[in-house]
Chain A
């Protein structure tokens, strides 16, 4: 057991942990099973998942959450802001829609996922993995602008999520991104698995940018699979079915040390468990996430309900 006080870290889960990557897909669980499973495992906080996965009507969404005693901590939307003005306009529309839904369910964090340069189904390259100075500038100014709009209009905070197979993946790029963006308005969703997958050091990032760590995706990487990914130059879509992301306490970074580092920030931070699993048989995720819930409870991280809803 860790001796650190973890009471300011709030545990949540997300559709990603049920193998949900798309609003709709034949190889994913449906939203009803997702919500049932989350509640049955005892979680209280959930994300909305890919835009369009959960009901989009605010009243229906509230009803479905209330029936199961669930609360929403955040939502996720992809955007390719490096592409310039048109991409920013589209992002403002998409993010505003999601931000509106988040405010309807009392949530205040919107996670900005950068667009992947590989196809999420096939892993094939869809654009260059390099980013030129103009594209970088588009990404920075676009992110600042997007964050400003959704905060001013909805009171929702944008947290940027560095991500494998995108232009903000390595520690160097992440640190550059944090230096270039406006710290008043753009902060970080630290996805521990994506950072470890791309060879970054989560602990260094927490140490160097403590004020920017606003939200956490708690994801763990199997180092042996990562070696193979590097050797064979595989895409994320190819790495996930190989089991690149594993259930706690296995994988990297080490769970107790990471929780200590996050608790050391002494702020209210959502730590949302994620384990990329797409595609997966529909009965597997509940077992994994039930075990994870028990594991984190033993470490003193919650809330997890012992009682059924």
Chain B
């Protein structure tokens, strides 16, 4: 099957260009560093006799630090998704490698889907492996595990998938470097729109809420990040947010008060299909 052949070729290229190796070494470093940090945290003596037990205080702090670490991780994942997928199509178009491929009985949709699948497997594989390792390290050093780690990792992969799909579609027309930069800037803009929308939600300002809603509909990366955060929050944190009255948690990009609605998840899936379809349409019409 041609799509799988192209996906395999994309993975082989990443491996041969030492992309795997670079990702593994850097991630191992990051995991080791955060592992050391968590170990330090677990040796801190928390005072006894207050409202919360020392164990509860420790897991509360660990959970919040883990969310911050996950944010860094999601940022690296987003950057990787953009900058790995940008050259995958654009460079082959610029160098003319696509000429030799498409002169074969290969449809353009097969080439596009193969590249998409290849990058997805690369990024998804990386996210799953490094996520599992990081969570294991946290569990070993502190004894804490977030309530729903699997859902969180799946949503992070979904966030990266959204961004890689956007980048790949852009790169059917725009140079590799421009596609990568546009995608990363849009990722940043949606993150800010998420905060703006959160302010709107917290203070019942419908116009700001609308800005947030438009942002997460057009590019659901930040919403998927918030969805992931929800699954990392222990019950005590969620309870505290609930008791705080106003939805202040919505302002903070490292907090979430509710899971993503199934309808929104369906929209994310539709968004990916739609943007891929636009990429196909654009690639089909492109002169080689």
Query: Do A and B truly interact?
Result: no
Q: Residues of B at under 8 Å CB distance from A?
A: none
